[in-house]
Amino acid sequence: LSFSFVRPGASEEAAPPLQQSFMIPKKEINMVSDMGKWKRSQAYADYMGFILTLNEGVRGKKLTCEYKVSEPIEKLVALLNTLDRWIDETPPVDQPSRFGNKAFRTWYGKLDQEAEKLVATVIPKHLADAAPEVAVYLKESVGNSTRIDYGTGHEAAFAAFLCCLCKIGVLRVDDQMAIVFKVFNRYLEVMRKLQKTYRMEPAGSQGVWGLDDFQFLPFIWGSSQLIDHPDLEPRHFVDEKVVNENHKDFMFLECILFITEMKTGPFAEHSNQLWNISAVPSWSKVNQGLIRMYKAECLEKFPVIQHFKFGSLLPIQPVTS
């Protein structure tokens, strides 16, 4: 499975106009029997290809290494900084229940209103028509404002958002490392802040049997970063000292640090799946296992995928191979 990026060097102006009419993405998976449609869709092939292409792109690389940062990448980081600033401007409200602070709805309302404008700051003028379609994925990526919850389906919407930006040529093949290390990493920071500030519920979490309450992709890409590391083995990530010394370089350890900040008690009890993973002998085995688990536990689960939206960029139509 490979995802075809627009090649670098194809200049913006010289690029032929996209022969496509954009559309507002909508739900297509309404019952369990529709899941086959999803797995055969162009959207699934492109989404999974995108995830795996980035998985290869960050293999063996540290978060702190040198990589190209293009203008669209800078603009995406600025967009995420705006969302972060809005959290500061929207403090949690006093309410009887501990979880799901209603101030999240106010914060979300702002995003709902501004999403298209925010997306328009990232895409060039000649692609302005794509903004309403792409903005839907951004809005879906921050959690549900009714239930005040967040989970892997929302995370998938953010990956879909980035995938759409690649499909229209805003992000290029040489942006791969920056997509994960700069943009997706910043997204994670903002999501962690949302989760903490508004005490969001985990969406569709399998509790102690799930990998993590909120995220999945940083474990995949983060384990790829660690492949062939000279010293760090999977058994080391349950060691607090190792995590403290290396988390700034590796997304996987950053995730572990966040879990240990948020949860009390023995690691093996609150994060049993991850504890089991720490016994796997190599990072490449961890990486392969997580990709399989991601497909089975997230992408092939109706409760997660029923919320996914399909448009012209991520179409429900079957793959044309």
- Helix residue spans in the chain (DSSP H): 35-39, 42-57, 71-89, 103-122, 131-140, 152-167, 176-178, 185-197, 217-225, 240-246, 251-262, 267-270, 272-277, 283-294, 302-305
- Residue 320: pLDDT band with limits 50, 70, 90: confident
Q: Indicate the pTM of the whole model.
A: 0.95
Split at pLDDT 50, 70, 90, the class of 161 is very high
- Averaged pLDDT, 148-169: 97
DSSP string, 186-249: HHHHHHHHHHHHTTPEETT--GGGSS-SS--HHHHHHHHHTTT-SS--GGGGG-HHHHHHHTTT
Q: Residues 164, 134: contact at Cβ < 8 Å?
A: yes
Round to whole Å and give the CA distance between 314 and 42.
7
Q: How does residue 55 score in pLDDT terms, banded at 50, 70 and 90?
A: very high
Locate 71 and state its tokens.
Answer: 């203008």
- Kindly state the tokens that stand for 257: 């640090």
Name residue, tokens 């760090």.
232
**Residue 115 phi, psi (nearest 5):** -50, -45
Which amino acid, one-letter code, is at 205? Answer: S
Q: What is the pLDDT of residue 214?
A: 94
Residue 92 per-residue DSSP state: P
Which token pair is 45? 């092939």
121 contacts 78 by C-beta, under 8 angstroms: yes
Report which of 222, 241, 232, 135 is spatially closest to residue 180, judged by C-alpha positions. 222
Query: What is the spatial distance between Cα 91 and Cα 85, in angstroms, rounded to a whole number?
Result: 11
Taking the domains of the chain in order of start, what are their residue ranges? 26-58+70-176+302-310
Mean pLDDT across 272-299: 96
Work out the mean pLDDT of the chain and round it to a whole number: 93
Instruction: Look at residue 1 and tell me whether its pLDDT is greater than 50.
Output: no
In the predicted model, is pLDDT for residue 10 greater than 70? no
Other C-beta atoms within 10 Å of 67: how many?
A: 18
* Degrees to nearest 5, angle at CA 27 with 206 and 318: 100
pLDDT of residue 18 exceeding 60: no
Residue 8 confidence (pLDDT)? 55
240-244, 261-265, 289-293, 306-310: least confidently modelled range:
261-265
Q: Which residues lie closer than 8 Å to 79 by C-beta, 6 or more apart?
A: 118, 119, 121, 122
Alpha helix stretches (DSSP H) within 90-130: 103-122
CB atoms closer than 10 angstroms to residue 296 = 10
Assign 14 a pLDDT band (cuts: 50, 70, 90): very low
Helix (H) or strand (E) holding 150: strand 149-150
